[in-house]
């Protein structure tokens, strides 16, 4: 019972590749940077197809304008996915916030107050999601599916099923006005994007979220308040979604109960695409914005080439599959 | 070597006296005790189910004891939950729960409240400096910015130690810390544990690997049936004494008698060559237990995988009872030909933990239990019950999820699943890894019982005593080739070890 | 018998309340089922899938009011665009007996199982805007004249850009909606006949009515970037998307004109304001409902079914001249 066979040196396959990722070869680079390369490839492709149009100031501004709302909602989705959950109610929350702001303004509430109340509604929905997930213990899928349903119903009630319009011009200018010839929502998206990036990168709150998303049990035992962390992430996401929804109402000059509902699936897709950008495979803001960029460039570029919108939808799905497949190849290569 | 003393001059760092805990009327602990001095490494031993893990959970605030006292530095304490225990300096580290893979090493070491920050902003340079201080205490050089998930297992363990130290842990409880480490890594770990001991940290070391315990620990406490049966200095004890105390009988009984081998050839392997396997030829007989040894990476596991059809090969033939298998047959055809593999990684390759025992058994026997594409519940129940009876699987019912069973019983489910196919040749890769001594003896008996029924068993093991004790004949592999062969009755450990290193004598 | 009095009492009260609510308006539920009209408990099953749209919501209110006025026993089923949920509800209501079925804005293609159940029970379906041509499924289906909508909107469009000949016109549609699909196809045909060039060569398709406005907005602004001054007009199958198209044109500073259909208040206001949006079609739903209800009353009185089972009524084209006189479709009372 005293002798045990053990290798004097570690067996090759137990150590090679797991200590540090191999780097250097071009093939590796192509696989690792798959998603970013896809974005660049799309841009190059559309530029090659329509050099006279695609990278003009007007069209780049167009793209940025078109993806600004999606970028904000995807930012919110990123926060929730960092803690390892996801939120199906974000687009519904955005629509409700827009509807609430619009209906209050039509009843004579001052614009600033209507906006504050709309944002408070988003915050409250996020808080409710957070409580249900972190404290009641529902799964994020069930909790946010349920709130999505109720929130959409509430939005129908608020709008009476109609489209609210004729909003104050001051409000509309938030979404349609331009500074230095660039529309307002683009600035809001950039500022929020930088703020969220810094939040996730530099603050203890953000780092705790990453810890929770990485391993709940270790985080809990290390003194991270896991429930509060998740609550906070959902609440912040609700508030940010409300900003997006209010901005969308201002951008369109109107609000309806289902406005921008496609942002939900696109936001999840953008975050998934973004997760393939970093080595850890975690949700991250920069990656999400690359994902949003892919979705926006695809849609704009295919429109410019005159491709049927049904075909666009098929291609978008295929791009997501390709990017995620590439990154799982990368994981296996590790 | 040992810095611990018989009669403690100071109060124990952690002490449990008369601790009892029962679940649903069954005692998991019944008056257990444990006393750990500062600056000692104390082994906590016992078979699975002896109460070790329940005791650890009581000590770390997971469970509240029904009865008994816990003292920390001589003062009575009650740990309401794990965080309270952690604040009192008592930390348990589990292999699978040690790190957060998706954040950096530095953040892993100073998690949560420990992260240095100013007005909510993480102070990265301070964070890295303090993390480095902790790693320096362990003499570790691990890149602070690297994702913890990209580290080797031993480095991950070191990071979790560093975190425990950063949290002022004075009592570290380690559960099978060497399970996934190589020999050099184990030595690295031991060096660190010894330096922690020198710093006055108390370490409770839970392990099934007795050689390691005797190499590293100062004292041992042995539990059986929820009670503490022995506490002793390692220097005054022997492995045989420990085993007999753990199982309540002497270790000579561990291995059953040999003598079931016949002269009928069941398996002929000729010139087998593939990844990590070069020109391997041998025969095995009906009723024979054939051991295959060698260092990690010598090709033992790959040989089994090729025989089972789980890995492709370049050249060579495999013949079972006179029938030659097609080239690289695949698992299904190999199974049909009568070759079954019980893999090494039980939890990931052998069973589906969330599925019930009978569903696991049914999975490998779909053809037997179904007709016209419909699965027959009755037939599944029949073969499962038969398997559970033959193998003495301890479970509430055939419907109990395998994940709830002990390691030994999980291994038996893997066996039951394969045995229902009545294989002519049963391949087993490390059949007793991570299994306690008592269940080991049962597995050995089972192997011999199968051999007596005419099955040819080929088993790979890293432990030479086991390799010799449970087999009729041993083949040793070195760098993909067979470097030596011996009859187990006459085998000499030193000779086999020489074969392992490629010395042909 | 009553071991637990409390719950039993609650149940009894609930049952009484439910009966009172269900019987509201008529004396009691006798249950005659099937067959022609006896006066006092004429049972009507009404359903619509579009209750979440403004017009659908108006229809639910208006039908409920008409039923009360005529003393009918009405069961209203609201489908929320979910046929899997709505159809079985309607069928079970039919199974419990009814004299007449009312369908509001639910296309015949989506209610095959209801039609079969009604035929089996020999109950006539009176519908409005539920098929774009005559169908045996209905005793009566009154809809609006799609060709009339196309003729009217194209005329305004042509007038506002100086004729359609040689002009670049984009057509935006949404295929799953039968009415919009029919109008878009008619518009495409007529535009080609008038010598216009179709932007993109075919009807541009919007994927979902919920995001119609943002989709049309992106579609038109991207097209205008790719083809500056490449659009003279955009013909859109419904107002919500038309509003997106007109916003894109305004933002791009282009001169193209837009028409829609439905006469939502937002569209009417834009037409009045005199921007890119020049016309929409107002469909006279209150009048259509009156005609349908009249037909039902005739059936109730003497069992007569309408001689013609399909009628397409004229619509009013709303332009800058008459916009102030129109009641928008989402403001119907």
When mean pLDDT is compared over A193-202, A313-322, B137-146, B239-248, the highest value belongs to: A193-202
Q: Which residues of A touch C57 (CB under 8 A)?
A: 160-161
Q: Which residues pair with A155 in a beta bridge?
A: none
User: What pLDDT does B2 receive?
Assistant: 46
Angle ∠(B92,B93,B94) on CA atoms, nearest 5: 120
B353 touches B347 (CB < 8 A):
yes
User: What pLDDT does C40 receive?
Assistant: 59
Interchain contact, B295 vs A6, CB within 8 Å: yes
What the block records as the tokens of C147 is: 């060709």
Residues of chain A with pLDDT under 70: 1-33, 327-334
Q: Which residues of A touch B294 (CB under 8 A)?
A: 5
Q: Which residue has the tokens 């495409």?
A: C188
* Burial label, A153 (beta-carbon count in 10 A; 0-12, 13-18, 19+): middle
Q: Hey, how many other C-beta atoms are within 10 angstroms of the C-beta on B373? A: 6
Q: What is the mean pLDDT of residues B137-142?
A: 82
C311 touches chain A (CB under 8 A): no
Total residue count of chain C as it appears in this document: 333
Interchain contact, B465 vs A2, CB within 8 Å: yes
The pLDDT mean for chain B works out to 82
Q: In this model, does residue C18 exceed pLDDT 60? A: no
When mean pLDDT is compared over A153-157, A229-233, B371-375, C317-321, the highest value belongs to: A229-233
Between B439 and C185, whose confidence is greater?
Answer: C185
Q: Which residues of A touch B210 (CB under 8 A)?
A: 1
Q: What's the rounded Cα separation, in Å, for the pair A190 and B116?
A: 29
A302 touches A290 (CB < 8 A):
no
Neighbours of chain B (3+ CB pairs under 8 A): A
C251 touches chain A (CB under 8 A): yes
Q: What is the mean pLDDT of residues C98-123?
A: 86
A215 touches chain B (CB under 8 A): yes
CA distance to partner chain A, nearest, from residue C9 (Å): 32
Q: Which of A4, A220, A334 sits opposite B462 (nearest CB)?
A: A4
Is there an interface between C and B (3+ Cβ pairs < 8 A)?
no
Read off the pLDDT band of B443 (50, 70, 90): confident
Q: Which residues of A touch C205 (CB under 8 A)?
A: 308-310
Between B8 and A145, whose confidence is greater?
Answer: A145
Q: Which of C205, C210, C247 sits opposite A261 (nearest CB)?
A: C210
Compare all CA atoms of chain A with the CA of B215 and give the residue at the minimum distance.
A2
Q: How many CB pairs under 8 A join A and C?
A: 96
Q: Which residues pair with B322 in a beta bridge?
A: none
The pLDDT mean for chain C works out to 82
Report DSSP state, residue B68.
Answer: E
Q: Which residues of B231-245 are buried (b: 16+ CB within 10 A; e: fewer)?
A: eeebeebeeebbbbb
Summarised one tens digit per residue, pLDDT across range C48-97 is: 887 777 788 888 889 999 889 888 888 888 877 777 778 888 888 888 88
Between A114 and B366, whose confidence is greater?
Answer: A114
CA distance to partner chain B, nearest, from residue A226 (Å): 10
Q: Which of A259, A305, A309 sits opposite C206 (nearest CB)?
A: A309
User: What pLDDT does B503 receive?
Assistant: 67
Read off the pLDDT band of B297 (50, 70, 90): confident
Q: Which residues of B touch A4 (CB under 8 A)?
A: 209, 211, 462-464
DSSP string, C128-165: ES--SS--TT-SEEEEE-HHHHHHHHHHHHHHHTT-ST
CA distance to partner chain C, nearest, from residue A248 (Å): 9
What the block records as the tokens of C2 is: 């009553």
Summarised one tens digit per residue, pLDDT across range C239-266 is: 889 999 999 999 888 889 999 988 888 8
User: What pLDDT does B349 receive?
Assistant: 66
Summarised one tens digit per residue, pLDDT across range B147-172 is: 888 887 778 888 888 888 888 888 98
CA distance to partner chain A, nearest, from residue B396 (Å): 29
C129 touches chain A (CB under 8 A): no
pTM above 0.80? Answer: no
User: What pLDDT does A329 receive?
Assistant: 65
Compare all CA atoms of chain A with the CA of B108 and give the residue at the minimum distance.
A211
What the block records as the tokens of B482 is: 């067979």
CA distance to partner chain A, nearest, from residue C32 (Å): 37
Least confident of A106-110, A172-176, B326-330, B381-385: B381-385
Closest of C74, C134, C85, C75 to residue C113, by C-alpha: C85
User: What pLDDT does A1 receive?
Assistant: 42
Q: What's the rounded Cα separation, in Å, for the pair A57 and A181?
A: 10
Q: Which residues of C touch A50 (CB under 8 A)?
A: 226
Inter-helix orientation angle C212-226/A57-82, to 10°? 140
């Amino acid at each position: 019972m005293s002798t045990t066979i053990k290798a004097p040196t570690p067996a090759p396959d137990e150590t090679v590749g797991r200590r540090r990722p191999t780097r250097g070869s071009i093939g590796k680079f192509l696989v690792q940077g798959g998603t970013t390369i896809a974005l660049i490839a799309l841009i190059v492709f559309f530029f090659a197809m329509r050099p006279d149009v695609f990278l003009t100031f007007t069209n780049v501004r167009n793209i940025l304008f078109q993806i600004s709302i999606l970028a904000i909602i995807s930012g919110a989705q990123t926060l929730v996915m960092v803690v390892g959950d996801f939120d199906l109610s974000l687009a519904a929350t955005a629509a409700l916030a827009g509807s609430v702001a619009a209906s209050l303004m039509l009843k004579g509430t001052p614009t600033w107050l209507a906006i504050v109340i709309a944002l408070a509604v988003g915050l409250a929905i996020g808080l409710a999601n957070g409580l249900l997930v972190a404290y009641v213990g529902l799964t994020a899928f069930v909790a946010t599916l349920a709130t999505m349903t109720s929130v959409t119903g509430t939005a129908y009630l608020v709008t009476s099923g109609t489209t609210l319009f004729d909003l104050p011009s001051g409000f509309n200018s938030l979404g349609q006005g331009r500074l230095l010839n660039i529309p307002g929502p683009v600035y809001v998206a950039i500022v929020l994007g930088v703020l969220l990036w810094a939040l996730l990168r530099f603050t203890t709150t953000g780092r705790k979220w990453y810890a929770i998303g990485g391993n709940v049990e270790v985080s809990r035992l290390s003194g991270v308040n896991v429930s509060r962390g998740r609550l906070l992430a959902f609440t912040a996401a609700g508030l940010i979604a409300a900003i997006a929804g209010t901005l969308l109402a201002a951008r369109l000059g109107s609000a309806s109960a289902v406005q921008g509902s496609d942002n939900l699936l696109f936001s999840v897709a953008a975050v998934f695409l973004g997760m393939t950008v970093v080595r850890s495979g975690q949700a991250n803001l920069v990656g999400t914005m690359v994902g949003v960029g892919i979705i926006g460039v695809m849609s704009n570029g295919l429109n410019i080439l005159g491709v049927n919108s049904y075909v666009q939808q098929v291609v978008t799905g295929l791009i997501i599959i390709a990017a995620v497949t590439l990154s799982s190849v990368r994981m296996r290569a590790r | 070597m040992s810095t611990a003393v018989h009669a403690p001059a100071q109060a124990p760092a952690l002490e449990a006296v008369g601790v009892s805990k029962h679940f649903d009327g069954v005692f998991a602990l019944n008056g257990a005790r444990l006393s750990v001095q500062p600056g000692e490494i104390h082994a906590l031993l016992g078979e699975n189910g002896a109460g070790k893990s329940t005791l650890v959970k009581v000590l770390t605030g997971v469970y509240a004891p029904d009865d008994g006292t816990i003292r920390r530095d001589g003062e009575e304490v009650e740990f309401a939950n794990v965080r309270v225990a952690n604040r009192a300096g008592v930390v348990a580290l589990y292999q699978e729960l040690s790190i957060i893979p998706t954040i950096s090493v530095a953040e892993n070491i100073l998690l949560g409240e420990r992260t240095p920050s100013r007005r909510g902003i993480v102070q990265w340079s301070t964070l890295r400096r303090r993390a480095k201080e902790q790693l320096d205490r362990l003499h570790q050089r691990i890149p602070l910015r690297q994702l913890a998930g990209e580290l080797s297992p031993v480095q991950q363990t070191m990071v979790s130690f560093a975190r425990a130290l950063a949290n002022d842990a004075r009592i570290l409880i380690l559960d099978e810390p060497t399970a996934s480490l190589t020999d050099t890594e184990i030595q690295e770990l031991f060096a660190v544990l010894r330096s922690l001991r020198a710093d006055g940290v108390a370490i409770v070391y839970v392990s099934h690997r007795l050689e390691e315990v005797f190499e590293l620990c100062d004292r041992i406490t042995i539990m059986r049936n929820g009670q503490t049966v022995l506490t002793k200095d390692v220097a005054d004890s022997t492995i045989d004494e420990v085993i007999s105390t753990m199982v309540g009988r002497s270790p000579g009984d561990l291995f059953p008698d040999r003598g079931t081998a016949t002269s009928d050839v069941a398996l002929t392997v000729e010139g087998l060559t593939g990844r990590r396997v070069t020109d391997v030829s041998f025969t095995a007989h009906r009723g024979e237990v054939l051991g295959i040894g060698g260092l990690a990476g010598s090709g033992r596991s790959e040989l089994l995988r090729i025989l089972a059809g789980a890995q492709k090969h370049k050249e060579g033939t495999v013949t079972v009872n006179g029938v030659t298998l097609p080239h690289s047959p695949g698992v299904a055809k190999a199974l049909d030909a009568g070759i079954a593999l019980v893999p090494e990684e039980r939890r990931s390759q052998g069973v589906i933990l969330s599925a019930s025992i009978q569903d696991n058994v049914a999975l490998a026997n779909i053809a037997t239990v179904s007709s016209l594409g419909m699965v027959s519940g009755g037939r599944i129940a029949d073969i499962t019950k038969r398997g559970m009876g033959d193998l003495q699987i301890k479970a509430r019912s055939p419907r109990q999820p395998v994940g709830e069973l002990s390691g030994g019983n999980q291994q038996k489910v893997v066996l039951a699943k394969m045995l229902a196919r009545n294989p002519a040749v049963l391949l087993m890769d490390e059949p007793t890894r991570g299994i306690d001594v008592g269940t080991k003896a049962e597995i050995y008996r089972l192997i011999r019982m199968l051999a007596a029924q005419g099955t040819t068993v080929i088993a790979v093991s890293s432990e030479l005593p086991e390799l010799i004790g449970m087999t009729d004949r041993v083949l040793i592999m070195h760098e993909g080739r067979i470097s030596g062969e011996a009859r187990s009755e006459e085998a000499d450990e030193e000779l086999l070890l020489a074969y392992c290193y490629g010395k042909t004598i | 018998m009553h071991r637990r009095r409390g719950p039993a009492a609650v149940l009894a009260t609930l049952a009484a309340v439910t009966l009172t609510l269900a019987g509201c308006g008529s004396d009691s539920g006798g249950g005659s089922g099937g067959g022609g009209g006896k006066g006092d408990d004429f049972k009507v099953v009404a359903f619509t899938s579009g209750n979440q749209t403004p017009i659908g919501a108006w229809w639910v209110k208006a039908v409920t009011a008409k039923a009360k006025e005529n003393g009918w026993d009405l069961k209203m089923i609201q489908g929320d665009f979910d046929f899997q949920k709505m159809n079985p509800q309607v069928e079970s209501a039919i199974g419990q007996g009814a004299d007449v079925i009312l369908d509001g804005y639910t296309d015949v293609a989506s209610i095959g199982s209801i039609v079969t159940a009604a035929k089996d029970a020999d109950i006539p379906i009176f519908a409005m805007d539920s098929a774009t041509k005559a169908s045996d499924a209905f005793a009566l289906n009154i809809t609006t004249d799609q060709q009339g909508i196309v003729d009217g909107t194209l005329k305004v469009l042509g007038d506002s850009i100086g004729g359609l000949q040689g002009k670049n016109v984009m057509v935006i549609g949404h295929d799953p909606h039968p009415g919009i699909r029919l109008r878009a196809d008619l518009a495409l045909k007529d535009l080609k006949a008038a010598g216009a060039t179709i932007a993109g060569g075919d009807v541009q398709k919007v994927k979902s009515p919920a995001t119609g406005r943002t989709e049309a907005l992106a579609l038109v602004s991207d097209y205008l970037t790719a083809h500056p001054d490449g659009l003279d007009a955009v013909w859109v199958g419904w107002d919500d998307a038309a509003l997106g198209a007109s916003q894109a044109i305004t933002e791009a500073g282009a001169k193209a004109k837009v028409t829609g259909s439905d006469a939502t208040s937002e569209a009417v206001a834009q037409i009045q304001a005199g921007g890119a949006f020049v016309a929409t079609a107002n469909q006279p739903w209150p009048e259509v409902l009156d005609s349908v209800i009249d037909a039902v009353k005739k059936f109730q009185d003497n069992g007569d079914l309408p001689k013609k089972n399909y009628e397409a009524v004229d619509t009013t084209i709303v332009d800058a001249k008459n916009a102030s006189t129109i009641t928008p479709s989402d403001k119907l009372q």
